[in-house]
A = this chain, B = another copy of it.
Amino acid sequence: MVISQEAIGAGKPAVLRRRGPVLERAILEAALDQLSTVGWGGLTMEGIAARAQTGKAAVYRRWPSKHALVVDALCSALPDVGDMPDLGSLREDLLFLVLRMRESMYSQGGLAIRSVLDECDHSAAEPFIDLIVRGVIEPGKRLILEVIRRGIARGEVRADATGDIVADVVPALMMYRAKLGGRDICEGDLIEVVDQVMMPLLRS
């Protein structure tokens, strides 16, 4: 049996012997897993090492701090909002969009991001917020603006509904309900967002 230096350090036999990218991937996965379960507050380099079945030294050799590791973990798991198929009507496009956004919110990367946003105070969250805005918020906003542009072209949406604040309404309502609603966002919530808010807000 091969015993790695790190495992000796931790006083346990190595279950897995991995190197380079394979071990790095396992550490990043462990960080995401810990973020979604124990949250930012409960996250420790020890916990991540244990979850990745490696030693703490192996983690610190690659990332000097919890912050640096979490930035890389979030980068590796940014939910991909993908492209918007044209479903032929504003309402169908909006329903597709909100379902896609809810999927992203509850993906492993989405849960990790919300854990960081929910728990970090402002100064601690700064390096993450920039990453989240560029990696998730902006791509989501581009999809919404694409749906709005198509609606304008079809004559379904008023021509001046292209402001940034209009594109913020869907993610803002989803974040607000997830934070204060005391339960997960259900399909009924999404249909309310579309039929009671976005359709009347956008109609021409």
Query: Are A168's CB and B161's CB within 8 A?
Result: no
Q: Does A165 contact B (CB under 8 A)?
A: yes
Q: Does A118 contact B (CB under 8 A)?
A: yes
Contact residues of A between 141 and 178, Cβ < 8 Å to B: 158, 161, 163, 165-166, 168-169, 171-173, 175-177
Interface residue tally for chain A (C-beta within 8 Å):
39
Which of B120, B121, B197 interacts with A166 by CB under 8 Å?
B197
**Distance between A84 CB and nearest chain B CB, rounded to angstroms:** 21
Query: Are A121's CB and B115's CB within 8 A?
Result: yes
**Distance between A35 CB and nearest chain B CB, rounded to angstroms:** 11
Which of B40, B42, B180, B196 interacts with A129 by CB under 8 Å?
B180
Q: Does A119 contact B (CB under 8 A)?
A: yes
Query: Are B176's CB and A168's CB within 8 A?
Result: yes
Which of B39, B124, B163, B176 interacts with A192 by CB under 8 Å?
B163
- Point out the residues of chain B lying under 8 angstroms from A18, CB to CB: none
- Point out the residues of chain B lying under 8 angstroms from A122, CB to CB: 39, 118
Residues of chain A at the chain B interface (Cβ within 8 Å): 39-42, 115, 117-122, 124, 129, 132-133, 137, 158, 161, 163, 165-166, 168-169, 171-173, 175-177, 179-180, 182, 189, 192-193, 196-197, 200-201
